[in-house]
Amino acid sequence: MKQRTRFGLWPLIAGFSVLLSGCTLEVLNPGAILDEDLNTPSLMPIVVAGSSAELNDIMDGYAFTNGRLTDDLSGTGSYFSTGQYRLGRFTRDDSEGFWEQTHEAAWASGEAWARLQTVLESAASTSSDAARLWYLMGTAHQRLGENFCDVVYDKGPVQPRTASFDSAIIAFNQAKAIGGAANSQMYISAGWGGIAQANAALGDWAGAVAAAGNVPTNYMIEAIYHQAANSNQVYNETWGRAEVGVWATPVQRQYNPTVVNYKSTGDPRIAYTVCGQWNDTNRPPDVTQGVTPTGTCTGQGSGATQGAGGLTAHHRQDKYTERGSNVPTISGTEMRLIEAEDAVRRGDAATFIAKINEVRAQGGAAALTAAEEAAANSGAGALNWDNCSTWAADCDVNKLDDMWSLLDRERYIELWIEGRRLWDLHRWDHPFLNGGTLIGPGEPRRASCMPIPEIECTLNENIANHSVCTSG
């Protein structure tokens, strides 16, 4: 990673401005806060908030980009990147922002922790602010490992992505320990939940289940967004524009197909609104025909009736309904899904059914049907995602005939548009990766992770000649 020369916390604290004139800096506010002025106990919550903002800056980006690159959302707009991601292409140039921002989020938390130790001294180890920093750091490392094919730290050598999960566990253990000392259940649970995520990623299912059991089902911690500041990008691109939508995704075609008055009325966890309807539902994917407006999305921005690219009707996601909608990072329902996946791997149908029903109840969905329980009791089976053979609205995307297919559905639904689907596709070697597509053609083998970006290859002499930089 390239070296950084700024603190990244000042914009949240200092109200100063400078005028650039050649090589001269003219200070317009001589009373600006200096770095050393931050070393005040009362300002530590603001310093920590700055670190939180660094993580928040990227979490909605993962949700938006992974949504287009996977089957979470159909890329229906006109951005060049949308067209590429729809095909399943992701290059080193595409990786740069995610790489820098995720590294920066981890770095900012470390810098803030050092400052807390300086300012609070021994009290730092019993501060809920410190526990929050370690949760933020752990989440940054976890997302780096989930999304990138390989990782690099501090301009060092290429390492497997497992190195990020190892780093995440160290951070989450700190969050848990300091959270306990601060009597903060929020960060105790965050620490346990993060450990469960990382252990599952490492294939340590015993460790994952043991950690997950410490997190209640109703628990959730989120990346924070705001109406006027760092707004949620998924909201912006589905409500403000029609760059992405639900049309042709499993949400619309299989998992939540029931619509009344243009509002989905099936599973409440994957809500959407039909903004426009194609006159011909059997339309081939690359043929534009007429769209009938539903009148339900008037005034919600450009492309309210059809996708911004003009190739699809717009089906708007309703999970994030405000510019300031938060993005979940760790939840109790994901912990139950980790326990359910462990049960699939052990062939324990009874535990699987019980855990899935806990998840569904928390989200307001009905328990598994008798037919679905029978499917679970039939055995683990195998993932069997498939594309529709026609474009009929009632086409069968996926046969829910075993535990793996049910788990795929439930994890898909529960973590929908949270930036987690790409990792599941990768670690499961999901059938969707083999030529899967939602709109138009796709590559024979879709990208399942983000490559190390060109800027790291250019600035890091330790990897310049490595295959991650010379291939492709």
Please give the radius of gyration of the chain, using alpha carbons only, rounded to the nearest integer.
Answer: 23
pLDDT at site 442: 81
pLDDT at site 303: 58
Q: Does position 141 have pLDDT exceeding 70, yes or no?
A: yes
Handedness of CA 345, 347, 351, 354 (dihedral sign): positive
Say how many C-beta atoms besides its own lie within 10 A of residue 472's C-beta.
Answer: 8
Angle ∠(199,201,202) on CA atoms, nearest 5: 65
Report the C-alpha gap between 426 and 37 in whole angstroms: 46
- How many percent of the chain have pLDDT more than 70? 86
pLDDT at site 170: 98
**106: number of CA atoms within 13 Å, CB side?**
24
Q: Does position 18 have pLDDT exceeding 70, yes or no?
A: no
Q: Does position 262 have pLDDT exceeding 90, yes or no?
A: yes
Report the C-alpha gap between 74 and 72 in whole angstroms: 7
Query: In 3-state terms, what secondary structure has residue 94?
Result: helix
Query: In DSSP terms, which residues pair with 298 in a beta bridge?
Result: none
Q: Does position 452 have pLDDT exceeding 60, yes or no?
A: yes
385 or 346, which is more confident: 346
Mean pLDDT of the chain: 87
Q: Which residue is associated with the tokens 């301009």?
A: 155
Confidence of residue 299 (pLDDT cuts 50, 70, 90): low
pLDDT at site 28: 46
User: In 360-452, where do the E strands start and end?
Assistant: none
**Identity of residue 44:** M
pLDDT at site 85: 95
Question: For 171-192, what is the mean pLDDT?
Answer: 98
Q: Does position 16 have pLDDT exceeding 50, yes or no?
A: no
Residue 395: what are its φ and ψ, rounded to 5°?
A: -65, 150
The tokens describing 312, both together, are 């699809």
160 or 23, which is more confident: 160
Residue 162: what are its φ and ψ, rounded to 5°?
A: -60, -25
Question: Per residue in 87-134, pLDDT tens?
Answer: 999 999 999 999 999 999 999 999 999 999 999 999 999 999 999 999
Question: Per residue in 305-329, pLDDT tens?
Answer: 888 887 788 999 999 999 999 999 9
Residue 332, CA distances (Å) to 18, 214, 358, 419 in order: 46, 9, 10, 17
Q: Which residue is associated with the tokens 């848990």?
A: 176
The DSSP call for residue 452 is P
Q: Does position 410 have pLDDT exceeding 80, yes or no?
A: yes
- Residues in Cβ contact with 112 at an 8 Å cutoff, skipping those fewer than 6 apart: 9, 47, 48, 50, 51, 133
SS3 content of the chain, % helix, strand, coil (to 5): 50, 10, 40
pTM of the shown model: 0.90
pLDDT at site 386: 60
pLDDT at site 34: 59
- Label residues 216-246 b or e (16+ Cβ within 10 Å = b): ebebbbebbbeeeebbbbbbbbbbebbbbbb
pLDDT at site 290: 75
8 A C-beta contact, residue 356 and residue 406: yes
pLDDT at site 309: 81
Residue 394: what are its φ and ψ, rounded to 5°?
A: -100, 20
The tokens describing 21, both together, are 């004139």
Query: In DSSP terms, which residues pair with 74 in a beta bridge?
Result: 245
Among the listed ranges 46-60, 78-92, 219-233, which one has the minimum average pLDDT value?
Answer: 219-233
Question: Per residue in 21-78, pLDDT tens?
Answer: 333 334 445 555 556 667 888 899 999 999 999 999 999 999 999 999 999 999 988 8
Report the C-alpha gap between 349 and 20 in whole angstroms: 66
Q: What is the largest CA-CA distance in the chain?
A: 74
Confidence of residue 439 (pLDDT cuts 50, 70, 90): confident
Among the listed ranges 158-162, 342-346, 355-359, 400-404, which one has the minimum average pLDDT value?
Answer: 400-404
Residue 232: what are its φ and ψ, rounded to 5°?
A: -70, 120
Top-ranked range on mean pLDDT: pick from 120-124, 293-297, 300-304: 120-124
Instruction: Give domain limits for the chain.
Output: 48-223, 233-317, 338-433
8 A C-beta contact, residue 454 and residue 92: yes
- Label residues 412-440 b or e (16+ Cβ within 10 Å = b): bbbbbbbbbbbbbbbebebbbbeebbbbb
Question: For 214-232, what is the mean pLDDT?
Answer: 91
